[in-house]
């Protein structure tokens, strides 16, 4: 039976998620998290939000009985957590259920970037193998690389476990040293970049990490440097990155995330030695279904028991009304 609460869905939730959510709650959908799309006739009915993207202060203020925002994704930099926390609104995210999938994609992107798999496939499909002979030897190799991980959290550790199997040394930078790993710790990102030649970004977005990978960090990474980003586009100064690729300051980059998605800057599209993916790191049916289930399970748990399953740390203190 449906609960006595309306869940506002922002943007496109997948069909499976919408169907399941509709069995449990009344559902209303608006195109995006814009307070101007909220109507006076139903604003007061909304007690929860299910969102794949932005939830700003204006939207939160437009919904007087809002109790919880279920963010579809582990990264919640698009949700105004401070405002939610101040207004006793619970925010949940989807940790763990996507960790291994995202780590798999990060490794795929790394190998593609270093060994030019996509580029060489294009060569075959364009008929150039038969006409021009063997594809040129790749300039780069994974052999003898040293890998740095920016953001050794759930996903970062899953990436590190895979890199260990490749026989490569690992170092990392977080704000805090991780207790249960033996990887080398660097207290700053420039120091990490200087110590490695392969930098994998899996840190969260938001103001604190904005443009963390700047011209200085790219220079420190060096001419054999490979940058892989599966964290957030905002982690990287994209103008500096395009210049670094163009000038040979670093060797190559593989990116799954961009500063202004779904738009990718022309400078990056034009830059040499790049593999660019449309934010697909968690995007399999299997994993997206697990994420949808966790969003919905959080909403159900909140309205049935007053407790969320996976609250983000900033709203762990929030209590149900």
Query: So which residues are the catalytic ones?
Result: 232, 261, 279
Q: Does 156 bind ligand NDP (CB under 6 A)?
A: yes
Q: Does 261 bind ligand NDP (CB under 6 A)?
A: no
Q: Which of 9, 281, 296, 318 binds ligand NDP (CB under 6 A)?
A: 281
96-122 exposure pattern, b = at least 16 Cβ within 10 A, e = fewer: ebbbbbbbbbbbbbbebbbebeebbee
- 199 or 230, CB closer to ligand NDP? 230
Q: Which of 51, 92, 209, 287 binds ligand NDP (CB under 6 A)?
A: 209
- 33 or 156, CB closer to ligand NDP? 156
In the bound complex, which residue of the shown chain has the CB atom lying closest to ligand NDP? 153
Q: Does 205 bind ligand NDP (CB under 6 A)?
A: yes
**Pairing status of strand 68-71 against strand 274-276:** unpaired
- 4 or 96, CB closer to ligand NDP? 96
Q: Does 279 bind ligand NDP (CB under 6 A)?
A: yes
Is the peptide bond between 54 and the residue preceding it cis, with omega within 30 degrees of 0?
A: no
**Pairing status of strand 274-276 against strand 46-51:** unpaired
52 contacts: CB under 8 Å, gap ≥ 6 = 10, 11, 12, 13, 72, 73
**DSSP per-residue string spanning 302-315:** HHHHS--SSB-GGG
- Rounded CA gap, 251 and 17, in Å? 41
- Rounded CA gap, 165 and 135, in Å? 28
Q: List 92's β-bridge partners, or say none.
A: 70, 311
Q: Does 152 bind ligand NDP (CB under 6 A)?
A: yes
Q: Does 175 bind ligand NDP (CB under 6 A)?
A: yes
Least distance in Å: CB of 228 to ligand NDP?
11
Q: Does 234 bind ligand NDP (CB under 6 A)?
A: no
**Pairing status of strand 46-51 against strand 26-30:** unpaired
Interaction residues for ligand NDP, span 88-117 (CB under 6 A): 95, 98, 102
Q: Is 315 left (phi over 0), alpha (psi -120 to 50) or beta?
A: alpha
Q: Which of 274, 282, 310, 315 binds ligand NDP (CB under 6 A)?
A: 282
The separation between CA 7 and the C-alpha centre of its own chain, rounded to angstroms, equals 24
Q: Does 176 bind ligand NDP (CB under 6 A)?
A: yes
Which of 140-148, 190-198, 203-211, 302-310 is the region at the interface with ligand NDP (rule: CB under 6 A)? Answer: 203-211
Q: Does 263 bind ligand NDP (CB under 6 A)?
A: no
- Rounded CA gap, 201 and 106, in Å? 9
Q: Does 208 bind ligand NDP (CB under 6 A)?
A: yes
- Rounded CA gap, 215 and 95, in Å? 31
Q: Does 63 bind ligand NDP (CB under 6 A)?
A: no
Q: Does 190 bind ligand NDP (CB under 6 A)?
A: no
Q: Does 228 bind ligand NDP (CB under 6 A)?
A: no
Site residues (CB under 6 A) for ligand NDP?
Answer: 74-75, 95, 98, 102, 151-156, 173-176, 202-205, 208-209, 230-232, 256-257, 279, 281-282
């Amino acid at each position: 039976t449906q609960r006595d609460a309306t869940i506002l869905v922002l943007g496109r939730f997948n069909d499976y998620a919408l169907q399941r959510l509709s069995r449990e709650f009344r559902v209303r959908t608006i195109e995006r998290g814009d307070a101007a799309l909220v109507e006076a006739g139903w604003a007061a009915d909304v007690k929860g939000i299910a969102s794949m993207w932005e939830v700003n202060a204006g939207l939160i203020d437009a919904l007087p009985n809002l109790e919880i925002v279920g963010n579809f994704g582990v990264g919640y930099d698009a949700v105004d957590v401070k405002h939610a926390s101040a207004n006793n609104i619970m925010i949940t995210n989807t940790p763990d259920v996507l960790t291994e999938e995202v780590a798999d994609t990060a490794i795929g992107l790394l190998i593609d970037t270093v060994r030019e798999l996509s580029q060489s496939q294009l060569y075959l499909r364009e008929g150039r193998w038969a006409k021009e002979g063997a594809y040129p030897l790749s300039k780069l190799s994974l052999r003898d690389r040293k890998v740095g991980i920016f953001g050794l959290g759930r996903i970062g550790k899953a990436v590190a476990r895979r890199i260990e199997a490749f026989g490569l040394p690992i170092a990392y930078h977080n704000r805090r040293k991780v207790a249960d790993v033996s990887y080398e710790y660097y207290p700053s990102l420039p120091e990490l970049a200087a110590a490695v030649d392969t930098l994998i970004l899996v840190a969260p977005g938001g103001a604190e990490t904005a443009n963390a990978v700047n011209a200085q960090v790219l220079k420190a990474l060096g001419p054999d440097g490979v940058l892989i980003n599966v964290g957030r586009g905002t982690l990287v100064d994209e103008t500096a990155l395009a210049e670094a690729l163009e000038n040979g300051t670093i060797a190559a980059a593989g990116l799954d995330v961009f500063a202004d998605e779904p738009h990718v800057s022309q400078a990056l599209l034009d830059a040499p030695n790049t593999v660019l993916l449309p934010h697909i790191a968690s995007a399999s049916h299997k994993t997206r279904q697990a994420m949808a289930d966790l969003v919905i399970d959080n909403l159900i748990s909140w309205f049935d028991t007053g407790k969320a399953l996976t609250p983000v740390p900033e709203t762990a203190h929030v209590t149900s009304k």
